[in-house]
Amino acid sequence: MTRLILATRNAGKITELHAILADAGLDLDLVGADAYPEIPDVKETGVTFAENALLKAHAMARATGLPAVADDSGLAVDVLGGAPGIFSARWSGTHGDDKANLDLLLAQLADIDAPHRTAHFACAAALALPDGTERVVEGRLHGTLRHTPAGTNGFGYDPILQPDGHTVTCAELTPAEKNAISHRGKAFRDLAPVVRELLG
């Protein structure tokens, strides 16, 4: 079976990607970057989600000699001009501290009322092959930000984003409900046929 590396060390993303890619009918041996602890994390020097997703996918494909997919994603808040955006994982200064990132964002938005609390999750899904072939697609999930977190599912900013058309936050949706509407679900469902075509 063809091996496809999931070029991420974010446990929340890995769980979602397994479900999304399996539902998309990809019959591949999916292996997370944790299986390659000796490969260093690539510096996210890009200024767009697509650039960073491609950087991560290419680094892993080059280092392993295997095809790799990567996800670069984040929360874009309209009143903050799209921030935290590509800085979502490191907004509070400590990379990957979901609680500190969320608490800082809520404090920054404390005086902003509902009509102006619009935001979206964005995800760039990239595929890179060892020969340098690359593809990237993007997905979004629009919603509004709550004043207080609710729900325990998911990760990151899920407890504060209420998707448009819903009355609960992403963290109150089941994993399947979130994947059906999420930025990540949309991007990787669009990437799946490309993966199938290029990997056979």
The catalytic site residues sit at 72
Q: Residues in the site for ligand ITT, rule: CB under 6 A?
A: 8-10, 13, 44, 56, 71-75, 88-89, 96, 98, 101, 121, 154-158, 170, 182, 184
Length of the chain: 200
CB of 198 to ligand ITT, least distance (A): 21
- DSSP structural state of residue 130: T
Say whether 155 counts as a known binding-site residue. Answer: yes
For ligand ITT, which is the closer residue by CB, 27 or 38? 38
For ligand ITT, which is the closer residue by CB, 157 or 188? 157
Say whether 111 counts as a known binding-site residue. Answer: no
Do residues 162 and 168 make contact, with C-beta atoms less than 8 angstroms apart?
yes
Say whether 49 counts as a known binding-site residue. Answer: no
For 24-83, give the DSSP string: TT---EEEEGGG-TTSPPPP---SSHHHHHHHHHHHHHHHHSS-EEEEEEEEEEGGGTT-
The residues, any chain, with a CB within 8 Å of residue 97's CB and separated by 6 or more, are: none
Binding-site residues for Mg(2+), please? 72
Q: Which residues are annotated as a binding site?
A: 8-13, 72-73, 155-158, 178, 183-184
